[in-house]
Amino acid sequence: MLANGVLERLLTGGSRAATDTEKVGCALGAGAVSAAMYGPVDMTSIHQQKLGLSLPGTLGHLARTHGILSLWRGVLPTAAREAIYTAGYLALAPVFTARLMKQKGWEDSFFASAVLGSMAAGVLANVASHPIDTAKTVVQADVASASYSGTLDAMRKLYGSGGLSSFYRGGIARTVRTCGAFFIVSTIREKCMQWKAAQPKTGANESPKRLSMLPTDSRLPGGERWPPRP
């Protein structure tokens, strides 16, 4: 979310609201950037499950056996997956929700609109990202490159062994999880933005305004009278 906010501010200069297209583009970029962190997280998770080691033990095993850079194996497909996934919950879900609420009779239906918008965004994001995620996972699991030399090689072999359906194994379960996550994250983000927008603006002119609200004959904390007398 931080990267997304930075990209939106750079794009708009902080002087206007981002368009729907700009929101999607910024979310795609923010998701891709997050792969630098999520790549090693996924890699560690996969091998901790395979090896049955502790977190430090898994990290140490990967670094000793395959080198520290092995933690970033599959980082490009991770970036593609995260770009699509992040665009789903930071851009598509809010955009779909807002457009539903513009329909006649739906103006006050935030909850229903958010549920439907998140479901639509979750399904679209998963259909687009699950094949990439499947290839990424098998590449990361095969850290020694015994079966797959890279992502494209993995996709070619997966398609050759099971056709298109091989890319969507576990897709239904992941879609259900994604729709729920999109609803939670996009709704919390929207409520936080509404709360922030509702806060009173403060600035350099705040102190004079407060002073002007004092009675015509009051004493300031230091004992001075307000307004000052000649």
Structure tokens at 193: 């933005």
The pLDDT of residue 120 is: 96
| pLDDT of 71 over the 50 cut | yes
pLDDT digits (tens, 9 = 90+) for 97-125: 999 999 998 988 899 999 999 999 999 99
Report the CATH number that the domain containing residue 116 is assigned in CATH.
1.50.40.10
77 cis-preceded (ω within 30 degrees of 0): no
Give the three-state DSSP class for 226. Answer: strand
Q: Which residue shows structure tokens 């200069």?
A: 13
Which of 70, 79, 116, 72 lies closest to 97, judged by CA?
Answer: 116
The answer to whether residues 87 and 125 touch, using CB atoms and an 8 Å cutoff, is yes
Q: Is the pTM of this model over 0.85?
A: no
First to last CA, the chain: 56
Query: Greater confidence, 130 or 16?
Result: 130
* Beta bridge mates, 226: 218
Give me the pLDDT at residue 137, please. Answer: 95
Does 34 have pLDDT greater than 70? yes
Tokens representing 108 are 């006050």
DSSP string, 43-94: HHHHHHHHH---HHHHHHHHHHHH-GGGGGTTHHHHHHHHHHHHHIIIIIHH
Question: Which pLDDT value is given to residue 223?
Answer: 58
Point out which residues pair with 225 in neighbouring strands: 219
Q: Please state the rounded mean pLDDT for residues 49-77.
A: 95
Task: Mention every residue, 6+ apart, whose C-beta is less than 8 A from residue 133.
Answer: 77, 81, 174
Structural element, H or E, at residue 225: strand 225-226
Residue 214 has pLDDT above 60, yes or no: no
> pLDDT for 157-205, tens place per residue?
999 999 999 999 999 999 999 999 999 988 888 888 788 888 887 654 5
Q: What residue numbers bound the domain in which 183 lies?
A: 2-226
- Which pLDDT score is estimated for 138? 96
Share of the chain above pLDDT 70, in %: 87
- What backbone phi and psi angles, to 5 degrees, belong to 112? -65, -40
The count of domains in the chain is: 1
Whether residue 222 has pLDDT greater than 60: no
Write out pLDDT tens, residues 133-162: 999 999 999 999 999 999 999 999 999 999
At residue 171, the pLDDT reads 92
Provide Rg for the chain, Cα atoms: 25
Residue 211: what pLDDT?
Answer: 43
pLDDT band at residue 61 using 50, 70 and 90 as cut-offs: very high
Q: How many residues does the chain have?
A: 230
The Cα–Cα gap between 94 and 124 comes to 14
Position 47 confidence tier, pLDDT thresholds 50, 70, 90: very high
Kindly state the DSSP code that residue 17 receives in the 8-state scheme. Answer: P
- Are 86 and 25 contacting, i.e. CB atoms less than 8 angstroms apart? no
One-letter amino acid at 126 equals N
What integer is the mean pLDDT of 46-61?
95
For the chain, give the mean pLDDT. Answer: 86
